[in-house]
Amino acid sequence: MEIKLTLLPGDGIGPEIVTEARKVLDVVANRFGHTLYYNTQLIGGIAIDETGDPLPEETLGACLQSDAVLLGAVGGPKWDDPKAAVRPEQGLLRIRKELGVFANLRPVKVFEALAEASPLKTERVRGVDIMFVRELTGDLYFGTPRGREIVNGKRVGFNTMRYDEDEIARVMRIGFELARQRRGKLASVDKANVLETMRVWREVAHEVAQEYPDVQYEDLLVDAMAMYLINRPSDFDVVVTGNMFGDILSDEASMITGSLGMLPSASIGADGSIGLYEPIHGSAPDIAGKGIANPLATILSGAMLLRWSLGLHAEAEAVETAVAQVLAAGHRTGDIAAGGKALGTAEMGDKVCEALG
Ligand code: NAD
């Protein structure tokens, strides 16, 4: 297979971790007989510095011409002024919009070798394997009216929680399809006891559930879910939520594994659209340039890319197995070493390549 990928290293540790993911993709492509063509482009703070635009036209053009996009991270203190007219995150929001991706998939899987790194009790996290599906294009983040005004001499801010039935149905279907390929369970998280938007969410979720009688479905309120994730995380398979609740719950869930540096994500849209793959962590400016960042989340994002955008399941599994083997052999970067011996970013990438080779 001939594969065209756009790489967007971005800011902070982004270039370091994307380099390692590329190394691993090269090894897997070589092993399975594929040819990879890379186009590396600017996004985020570095794009603002060089072009004044967090998502330059050339970057967008390259992404739209490719089979999939792998991103490092954007942002950092240099571009943090909240009053600045252009900000790195705008590049991220725009690329998601332009690619038409509406579902963010975040697997939260506890590697056996790292179960003890979790802040939760080991017996509680062992075997946790949740797929979070967060809606990306609606909700409080995009609903209108939104804004701020002065009412009776007081500052007032307001946003609108809004979903239409099509937006809900398409993300629910992604969740149900995933559940079918996994353990056949889906939890839809809402706040239907209080919010009208979430009553529509639940109604539509139930309608879509009728199409999937083989999937065991449950409704959960977001406040209850926040508790269940801590006291019984291994009960969940696929969890589908709106944009706002998903933002918060998926970060909470990520802590179950004990390291941000381990968690990949995929943002996908309708069939045939171009997927965007990135680690869930940020640009980690505190460790940028030191060669100590954990590249595994980005490497695992590369595995998701192989599976979701290219349908290369055996290749994706080979990468995931290599990562599990490297961890089982005791190799760690600083963030997961618990004070023990730590490898650098490139050394960790090399270990994964060796395990693959
Ligand atoms: P962060 O995820 O960058 O870092 C949080 C902590 O985790 C830091 O101590 C960091 O060193 C550590 N960490 C993160 N990734 C790591 C890795 N791969 N290996 C080892 N340690 C790692 O979050 P933050 O500090 O809140 O944000 C820093 C910048 O990143 C901000 O400008 C923020 O806006 C941006 N950000 C970008 C994204 C994105 O690009 N998708 C996401 C979140 C934050």
Tally of CB atoms within 10 A around 286: 10
Which of 18, 46, 55, 281 should be mutated for ligand 1, with most atoms under 8 A from CB?
281
Which ligand 1 atom is the nearest neighbour of the CA of 297? Answer: 18
Which ligand 1 atom is the nearest neighbour of the CA of 71? Answer: 40
Evaluate whether 1-105+272-357 and 119-257 have a shared fold: yes
244: left (phi over 0), alpha (psi -120 to 50) or beta: alpha
pLDDT of the residue at 47: 98
pLDDT in tens, 305-323: 999 999 999 999 999 999 9
* Under 8 Å between Cβ of 219 and 188: yes
Q: Is 69 helix (H, G, I), strand (E, B) or coil?
A: strand
Comparison of pLDDT for 37 and 141, the residue scoring more:
37
CATH tag for 119-257 (out of 1.20.120.80, 3.40.718.10, 3.40.1280.10, 3.30.465.10): 3.40.718.10
Catalytic annotation, pick one of 53, 191, 212, 217: 191
Q: Who lines ligand 1 at CB under 6 A?
A: 13, 73-76, 92, 260-261, 278, 281-287, 293-294, 297, 335
Whether 191 is a known active-site residue: answer yes
Per domain, the residue ranges of the chain are 1-105+272-357, 119-257
Whether 247 is a known active-site residue: answer yes
Residue with tokens 């909700």: 139
Which of 87, 101, 260 should be mutated for ligand 1, with most atoms under 8 A from CB?
260
Query: Is 90 exceeded by the pLDDT of residue 350?
Result: yes
Q: What superfamily would CATH give domain 1-105+272-357?
A: Isopropylmalate Dehydrogenase (3.40.718.10)
Kindly report the pTM of this predicted structure: 0.92
153: left (phi over 0), alpha (psi -120 to 50) or beta: left
pLDDT in tens, 81-91: 878 889 999 99
pLDDT of the residue at 118: 85
